[in-house]
Amino acid sequence: MLASVLIGVLSMGTSLQPAIAAARPVGGQAPGYYRMHVGRFEVTALLDGTHPFPSDKVAVNAKPGEVDALLAAQYLPPAFEGMINAFLVNTGDRLVLIDTGAGNLYGKEGGGLVSAIRAAGYTPDQIDDIFITHLHEDHAGGLLLDGKPVFAKAIVHVSKRDADFWLNDANQANVDDLLKPFFPAIQQVVAPYIAAGRFKPFEGGAPLLPGLTPIAAPGHTPGHTFYLLQDEGQSLLFWGDTVHMQPVQFADPNIAIRYDWNADMAVATRQAILARASAEHWWVAGAHISFPGIGHVVADNGHYRWVPANYTLNRIMP
Ligand SMILES: [Zn+2]
């Protein structure tokens, strides 16, 4: 058999190429969802999209060459591909979405959330509650898609501090130019939900649902909020935009970005939650960590490391 194959190949001489049927590259990726459990709760990570993150243009507090060196150490260019993740939680009683991705606000680089929800076996109109970590375009933009509200019955929850800030144009005067366009964009995506009476800002740290507790995390935005999910002794922290640049900010949490409302406060909040999440051994789910964005934080000699969840096809069914 081998001999006859060899003779066949040799007999084709140098013109091997035309004799081999070439399959066209298909392109695309697998549907963007990943499942795990926290106690009795089912958590599904959803990929809204990826986009080149211009770390060389937006990093703040970095030493000269530091960001490029940290990226190069992970074989990444300065504008590396960043994630936009959101997360679905099925508590058994309610279907809950943490953040909504960018919708149309990042062009073709966002807006995959709805197809990810469907690929994961759910539909947007099943979602009861949406908890927004903060009112930036890549977290609230997905409330609308192609100008239409995506979620037919969901109540949108966000900290009152963030709502008061982003829904008031007077605050445009006090933010980086990068953030000024966020005001009209955010006001547009929340408008139909406000009109329908389904936009409910909250205050304080009391649980918003059994097992879901908000934690004020100001700095990136005034009302930036973590959500801590806990059941049967297990904990998962949805930490929103604690880390934008995974290859950079675990190694040096003092590096901030121009998208921060208050960079010093954002750094202090990041340092505190990195220390706490690592000490408590919590699962962490991040909006801009490599998909699925779920893993653990490990303290490492004054720095931190990210340990991603190990992929599994087992133990994911109830
Ligand atoms: Zn973000």
Distance 292 CA to ligand 1 centre (A): 15
Q: Identify the domain containing residue 244 by its residue range.
A: 30-308
So what's the pLDDT on residue 15? 53
CATH of the domain at 73: 3.60.15.10
Distance 195 CA to ligand 1 centre (A): 25
* Residue 14 lies inside a defined structural domain of this protein: no
Distance 32 CA to ligand 1 centre (A): 18
So what's the pLDDT on residue 56? 86
* Residue 22 lies inside a defined structural domain of this protein: no
Distance 1 CA to ligand 1 centre (A): 58
Distance 28 CA to ligand 1 centre (A): 24
Q: Encoding tokens for residue 184?
A: 């009209």
Distance 156 CA to ligand 1 centre (A): 18
* Residue 11 lies inside a defined structural domain of this protein: no
* Residue 144 lies inside a defined structural domain of this protein: yes
* Residue 150 lies inside a defined structural domain of this protein: yes
Distance 279 CA to ligand 1 centre (A): 25
So what's the pLDDT on residue 42? 96
So what's the pLDDT on residue 1? 46
So what's the pLDDT on residue 99? 98
Distance 83 CA to ligand 1 centre (A): 9
Distance 115 CA to ligand 1 centre (A): 20
* Residue 6 lies inside a defined structural domain of this protein: no
* Residue 13 lies inside a defined structural domain of this protein: no
**How many other CB atoms are found less than 10 A from the CB of residue 206?**
8
Q: Are strands 59-60 and 256-257 parallel, antiparallel or unpaired?
A: antiparallel
Distance 37 CA to ligand 1 centre (A): 24
- pLDDT 10s digit of each residue in the chain, 318 long? 444 444 444 444 455 566 677 899 998 888 799 999 999 999 999 999 999 999 988 999 999 999 999 999 999 999 999 999 999 999 999 999 999 999 999 988 899 999 999 999 999 999 999 999 999 999 999 999 999 999 999 999 999 999 999 999 999 998 999 999 999 999 999 999 999 999 999 999 999 999 999 999 999 999 999 999 999 999 999 999 999 999 999 999 999 999 999 999 999 999 999 999 999 999 999 999 999 999 999 999 989 999 999 998 876 654
Q: Encoding tokens for residue 68?
A: 């490029």
So what's the pLDDT on residue 10? 47
* Residue 9 lies inside a defined structural domain of this protein: no
So what's the pLDDT on residue 7? 47
Distance 31 CA to ligand 1 centre (A): 21
Distance 241 CA to ligand 1 centre (A): 5
Longest CA span, the chain: 80
Domain count, the chain: 1
Distance 96 CA to ligand 1 centre (A): 19
Q: Encoding tokens for residue 219?
A: 């700095």
So what's the pLDDT on residue 316? 61
